[in-house]
C-alpha cells in the first residue's frame, strides 16, 4: 500500500463529503439519504482507486484511512470531552474500521488495523 493513494483520495473525498454535509446540515437531506449517499461516495472512491490500478483491499483500506483523517477534528473533540489521549481515540476508530474492513474484505482484522494505522499515522504527523 502506498501513502500516495491516501494523498490521491483525501482531497476527492473531502470535496464530495463537504457538499453532502452542507446539504444535510441545511435540512435538504434526511439521515437515511445522507447515509445512503455516504456509502455510495465511499464505494465510488474505492472503485476509482481500483480503476487506477490499485488492489481492491488496498483501495478500501485507503478510503477508510481517509475518513479517519478527515474525522480528526471530531476525534480531537472526543478526546477533550472524554479526557482521554487523542491516540487512544484514534486507535479505537482505527480498530472499529479495521474490524469492519476485515469482515467485508475477508482479511484478518490485524492486517486491516496494521495498514490503517500506518496510513493514518503517516498523515496525522
Q: 35-52 pLDDT, tens per residue?
A: 999 889 989 999 999 898
For residue 125, the model assigns a pLDDT of 67
Return the domain boundaries, the chain: 3-124
H/E element, 78? helix 72-82
For residue 2, the model assigns a pLDDT of 66
Cα–Cα distance, 106 to 40 (Å, whole number): 21
Q: 63-99 pLDDT, tens per residue?
A: 999 999 999 999 999 999 999 999 999 999 999 999 9
- Residue 1, pLDDT > 60, answer no
Half-sphere exposure of 109 (CA within 13 A, CB side): 8
Task: Output the pTM of the full model.
Answer: 0.86
Amino acid at each position: 500500500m502506498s501513502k500516495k493513494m491516501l494523498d490521491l483520495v483525501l482531497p476527492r473525498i473531502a470535496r464530495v463529503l463537504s457538499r453532502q454535509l452542507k446539504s444535510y446540515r441545511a435540512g435538504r437531506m434526511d439521515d437515511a439519504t445522507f447515509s445512503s449517499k455516504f456509502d455510495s461516495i465511499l464505494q465510488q472512491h474505492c472503485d476509482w482507486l481500483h480503476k487506477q490500478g490499485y488492489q481492491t483491499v488496498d483501495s478500501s483500506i485507503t478510503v477508510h484511512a481517509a475518513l479517519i483523517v478527515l474525522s480528526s477534528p471530531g476525534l480531537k473533540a472526543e478526546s477533550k470531552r472524554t479526557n482521554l489521549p487523542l491516540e487512544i481515540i484514534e486507535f479505537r476508530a482505527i480498530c472499529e474500521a479495521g474490524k469492519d474492513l476485515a469482515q467485508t474484505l475477508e482479511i484478518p482484522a490485524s492486517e486491516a488495523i496494521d495498514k490503517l494505522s500506518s496510513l493514518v499515522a503517516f498523515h496525522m504527523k
